Chains A and B, each alone.
Chain A
């Protein structure tokens, strides 16, 4: 008996939801989730809680390991996909290993964007995109220490709010990609930057970075030098320029990629055996204006993709949430990311 092989690249909400549904509808299929990371699926969107003392990674897991064992869902971790051959139905990892698939879901989400001028100084920076990075940042930040956010996407702003609650100083260098994934022209940033200042965040002048190095004090603090002159010091430098779909490895496979992998109403790509969901994909038609995929929508995408994979398609419901960043009556930030 030939069992259908489902490979789901990406260990986020979409991939896991799809896996769950696939198992419900196909008891015999071989279902493999492939992840670059080490941990099972966890709530990255809640990592700010680390600063409230919830530091055990097991508290962030969405499902206990039993969930996967009982459902027979394999979760291959520490596996980075470097190449996909959609016609041959194979996924190749960085170490040369390959696994075969009948149906592939790409749900790798987004990877962080770093502007060119920062590439040389990334090793002086901290990040907050995974539990490991977040814990490293938290440990490196002394009591009452100061964080300098470069850019400031919505995730970083949410973190900034938490840091302020715990008495840390926060400064921010605006950038054209500030407030991502909300699209806000630089010219229109003013009121929103003011809202940040209301939150106690020191907003510095925007401009390219010349360099980041260890500050002389030897305490681990960093000094950031601006191309336009001037410098700033902080204990932690956090680049936060939003993300771009993590789909480099899908070039040349026959799927169409604009920003993300273009998919139709059932999340299927241009290749009949390849689907995409979550922030790795790009819904068509974009004139609907949906470019922010919140968690609920991502979960839905995973479901829709799975339903199509097993031949019982379902169309995506449009989300009913606001795509834009707004201000509330008190001049504070109002966003889908600030529930």
Chain B
């Protein structure tokens, strides 16, 4: 077998360097040409010794999701790792501490819980760390080195990543970490490798160094910067705070302005004000903040103002579960706000699309003169994928009909009728375009009016103009994968759940089920033509999503009029491919659609 597909789970306590070890592992693998996807779990509390879990899947082929089982489990803290022992697969490797500090109570050490099917490797991590660095804090590097040696991974690549990671710090930090890593690596050389976890160097010709491990939030930030974001207003909220923080650091270097406002209403208000004035402006938030922003979004829709909202969903409703993932703000993003206030909503399904859609959001906003919501979720925000972002960004740095497209002999009307319902937009500072905009209903020249004809016409204008977004430039808003033509079961998914959907679809096809999957990247307007064409090919259609009410299923059903089978649940964790596969099988057997809204593992 020349394909590598290894998933490493590292469990530890806060302060053990669990996340750092995972970080070095995934960055090293990406730097030598592997594809990787990684997702870390942080403790909910700030202080204390909460559990950290770092999961990294390394593959020579593109991967879309984490596997339910790990090939290697490393325990840096047995108390926390106990709950995860079963995560290591049969004949998978478990690496753990050989010498507990104090006489350990029976039942508290990983050694007792290692399953018969596991391959255990005891390692005196603490002692090795003390010997090389005079401190037990480098146990994580010892363990990482041991893993690298066990799997014959290239030592130098790790050294390079460690040096990069600590380049801002004193030199000893880097040398000590390398020393601890080498101690582990050398120990592994003396161990007989039972060869069940196989690691093969990537094929010749793999682009080395081109891919970098990037999180969804990092990709969003890159997309904004590559699209020439000019001003940003944000308010801290999990899991979107890092967007504000990264932009606060990077935008000034490029002449941009960032402001942390006093609340979300102010953030979106300033974004709208800046967008009105011609700045490429954005804000970021999560569900609770978006709820506060809906009134302003309505103003943006009514007054036809370009602005971008980067929203990462978390467990809801209300304050919900700030550190858990969910997809339950679709209704809020698509419908939130008073009146018929349709706006553009796009939803990335992987880290690359976070970059792509964040970048395109600005020109979409300017072209269609409306708020654009980029809707991701905590899983995407925080998960790492190896992506190669383009050196030559595809985004248009200016877009939309400006005052120059207005005939200067005519008096300027901000909301003049047009074939595509998009009026030339004047901006403050431009001569010949003076106008006032308002949240009141208004006529073509912008003055308040509540006449029947005006309101009907303006509602039509504001809605019709958005249709063009379905076929904007080279941006694909749907994509189909799997079997072409007629299939038994089609899976229609959005957001991060698409990764798990692809995995389930692959397995279903391997079992002989004719199966296809379609991702929907634009939620408003909904690409109903493409969706209906897909549904025409499917014997049954399944919609899996991480919310209780089946919000996307409802959206699809209400706009196509066709029934779908649903798999909707909220565990705070990413959906499991096994659960989607089970539903695909169920539908393939012709047993009819059903609504599964309880937890996963629902009985057949």
Tell whether any CB of A sits under 8 Å from a CB of B in the complex.
yes
Per-residue A-contact encoding for B385-406, CB less than 8 Å = 1, 0 else: 0000000000000000000000
- Cross-chain contact A75 with B103 (CB below 8 angstroms): no
Taking the complex as formed, is A78 at the interface, i.e. its CB lies under 8 A from any CB of chain B? Answer: yes
Chain A residues with Cβ below 8 Å from B104 are: 96-97
Q: Report chain A residues within 8 Å CB of B119.
A: 38-39
| B120 within 8 A of partner (CB) | yes
Tell me the count of chain A residues lying within 8 A, CB to CB, of chain B: 26
Contact string, B88-126, partner A, CB cutoff 8 A, digits 1/0?
A: 001100000011100110100101101111011110000
Within the assembled complex, what's the spacing in Å between the Cα atoms of A100 and B107? 11
Decide: A73 and B100 in contact? CB cutoff 8 A: no
Q: Please state if B100 and A97 are interface contacts (CB–CB under 8 Å).
A: yes
Inter-chain contacts of A79 with B (CB < 8 A): 111
Does any Cβ of A come within 8 Å of B3's Cβ?
A: no
The listed residue (A68, A73, A96, A135) touching B103 by CB distance below 8 A is: A96
For chain A, residues 30 to 79, give those with C-beta under 8 angstroms from any C-beta of chain B. 38-40, 57-58, 65-69, 73-79
Task: Answer yes or no: A136 CB below 8 A from chain B CBs.
Answer: yes
Q: Which of B103, B112, B116: most chain A CB closer than 10 A?
A: B116
Q: Which residue of A lies closest to B101 (CB)?
A: A96
Closest residue of chain B to A63 (Cβ to Cβ) is B116
A-B CB contacts (within 8 Å), total count: 58
How near does chain B come to A267, taking the closest CB pair, in angstroms?
25
Q: Is the CB of A40 within 8 A of B91?
A: no
Docked complex: A222-261 residues within 8 A CB-CB of B: none
Partner of A97, one of B111, B115, B116: B111
| Alpha-carbon gap, A173 to B496, bound state (A) | 68
Of B90, B100, B120, B194, which contacts A95 at CB under 8 A?
Answer: B100
A40 and B111 in contact, given A97-B104, A98-B103 (Cβ under 8 angstroms): no
* Chain A residue with Cβ nearest B104: A97
How many angstroms between the C-alpha atoms of A135 and B100 in the bound complex?
31
- A57, B194: Cβ atoms under 8 Å? yes
Bin the interface of chain B by size.
20 to 34
B116 near A73 with CB under 8 A, answer yes
A132 within 8 A of B: yes
Whether A38 touches B194, Cβ cut-off 8 Å, given contacts A68-B116, A78-B121, A79-B111, is yes
Task: Report whether A100 and B106 are in contact in the complex, using a CB–CB cutoff of 8 Å.
Answer: yes
From residue A135, how far is it (CB to closest CB) to chain B in Å?
Answer: 7
Q: Which residues of A contact B116 (CB under 8 A)?
A: 40, 65, 67-69, 73-75
Question: How far apart sit A95 and B109, CA to CA, in the bound complex (Å)?
Answer: 12
CB distance from A7 to the nearest CB of B (A): 12
Bound CA span A73–B112, Å? 11
Q: Smallest distance from the beta carbon of B63 to chain A beta carbons, Å?
A: 26
How far is it, in angstroms, between the C-alpha of A99 and the C-alpha of B105 when the chains are bound?
9
| In contact, A65 and B114 (Cβ under 8 angstroms) | no
Q: How far is the CA of A38 from the CA of B196 in the complex (A)?
A: 13
Determine the distance from Cα of A58 to Cα of B195 in the docked complex, in whole angstroms. 11
| Cα A69 to Cα B194 with chains together (Å) | 21
Write out the residue numbers on chain B whose beta carbons fall within 8 Å of the beta carbon of A58.
Answer: 91, 196
Q: Of all chain A residues, which has the CB nearest B106?
A: A99
Q: A78-B120, A78-B121, A95-B98 are in contact. Are A135 and B192 (CB under 8 A)?
A: yes
Cross-chain contact A132 with B117 (CB below 8 angstroms): no
Known: A38-B119, A73-B116, A97-B103. 9 other contacts (CB 8 A): A38-B120, A39-B194, A65-B90, A65-B115, A65-B116, A69-B117, A74-B112, A96-B104, A99-B106
Query: What are 8 sample pairs from A and B whose C-beta atoms fall under 8 A apart?
Result: A65-B90, A65-B117, A69-B115, A74-B112, A78-B121, A95-B100, A95-B122, A96-B99
